[in-house]
Amino acid sequence: MKKARIATYLANILDHFDTSLYGFLVPILAPLFFPSSEPIVALLQGYGIVIIGFITRPLGAWYFGKRADMVGPHAALITTITGMTITTLCFTLLQPYQLWGVGGAIGLCILRGIQNFFGAGETSIAGLYVLENTEVDQQHPITSLYLSSTMMGIFLACGVSSVLFYCDNPQLYWKWPFYGSVVTGITGWWLRHQVAPTFVKNESTQGKTNWRGIIRLIPITGFSYILYSAPFVFFNTFAALVTRVGMKNLMLSNTFLMIFDMGLLVLFGPIMRKMDAQKLLLNIAAVSMVMIPILFWYIPFVELLGAVIIRMIIITFGVAFCIPLHRWYVSEFPANNRYTTTAIGYAIGSETLGRSFPAVGLALWHLTNFAIVPGIYISLVGLWAIFNILLSKRKV
């Protein structure tokens, strides 16, 4: 299992490099594919195409979750990384509005939908896969290593995107990161093929779909994802609009913040080794609910250092919340449908509440002109998450 974990960590780095590129490149892609007289409208359209994932991510989660429960997670993960690599290759064939007109935007939406279909299986299955045959007191450290590999992939995508922002005309070079991600996807596919699967097919173990568990997971996973998308994706555009800090400096600070995030993951995993997962989730969500609106209210008054500190605080909440989640999954949901339940719940929650937050947050600010409003939205999602965590009938 150790070899399988290492291969999963490495493949996960490469996979999240592929999937994170679009979010970082929206400020570059939006004017190319969604030309508008108002930059904020183009940005909303660029972030807003995540709505296609409302359909494709749950479908992908259902398909790959069932496949993981029936024939094993290894076989499902081989398929997910293959599909994502082919989809990324297709991104390099797209042409902007100037050449393809509305066809370019339609193609972008379709490819994002397909990428979400395969990505739904990847992000929800791999995290549980690394916990198979693991002692309880080792689950938090192993989860922290897996999440660190996720952040490493995002860090690489952020670094490549930052280079583009420092180019004189980044619109000319937007395809180059996607060319590179095709290479990383092929490498990840090869790594996963080096591990022999240990799962024994047994269709009789398949249980009924746990709809109650799926519904409970929507706000919990959505809140967890918002705590990532707020500081790393939403904040870059939002702070550039409401402060005097430039986009280039905000993107550059992402590099430091990614390193900070990975450091916290490595640190918090061993510290949380023997802590109760459910209590951790409840306490962190409660503190976040109180602090985040205050932090958002303060954003318009800060310079670059203040913006970095605010993001560091939100990142700390996010890291502390996401580490106990996987142990909570393992103890909360039966093995016969665990992959299906968590995959669908994560897909719906991360898509409807998490990935949509940059668009929703910008729209709320645009309508109200109050910086605190996106923070209040996050707190309401956190309250919803706390309620569903409390529905647990079992101790972790």
pLDDT score of 196:
64
**216 falls in which pLDDT band (50, 70, 90)?**
very high
Domain 2-195+210-389, second-level architecture? Up-down Bundle (1.20)
Q: What is the pLDDT of residues 247-272, one digit of tens each?
A: 778 877 887 898 899 899 889 988 88
Diameter over CA atoms, the chain: 61
How do the domains of the chain map onto residue ranges?
Answer: 2-195+210-389
Q: Rounded to 5 degrees, what angle do the CA atoms 305, 264, 186 make?
A: 105
Q: Rounded to 5 degrees, what angle do the CA atoms 358, 362, 366 make?
A: 170
The span from the CA of 213 to the CA of 70, in Å, is 19
pLDDT score of 163:
83
**84 falls in which pLDDT band (50, 70, 90)?**
confident
Of the given ranges (42-51, 172-181, 217-226, 289-298), which has the lowest mean pLDDT?
42-51
The span from the CA of 299 to the CA of 110, in Å, is 35
**205 falls in which pLDDT band (50, 70, 90)?**
very low
The span from the CA of 253 to the CA of 306, in Å, is 12
Q: At what angle do helices 73-91 and 102-129 cross, to 10 degrees?
A: 160
pLDDT score of 289:
95
* 63 pLDDT higher than 80: yes
CB 220 within 8 A of CB 326: no
* 111 pLDDT higher than 50: yes
The span from the CA of 90 to the CA of 77, in Å, is 20
pLDDT score of 2:
65
Q: What is the pLDDT of residues 333-354, one digit of tens each?
A: 887 788 888 888 988 898 789 8
Neighbours of 167 (CB within 10 A): 13
The span from the CA of 396 to the CA of 382, in Å, is 20
CB 11 within 8 A of CB 81: yes
Q: Where are the alpha helices (DSSP H) in 34-101?
A: 39-48, 53-71, 73-91, 97-100
In the 8-state DSSP scheme, what is residue 34? Answer: S
pLDDT score of 232:
85
pLDDT score of 396:
39
* 27 pLDDT higher than 90: no
Which residues, in sequence order, are CB contacts of 99 under 8 Å at separation 6+?
none
Q: What is the pLDDT of residues 154-186, one digit of tens each?
A: 888 878 887 887 777 777 888 888 888 788 778
pTM summary value: 0.78
Average pLDDT on 365-392 reads: 94
Total number of residues shown for the chain: 396
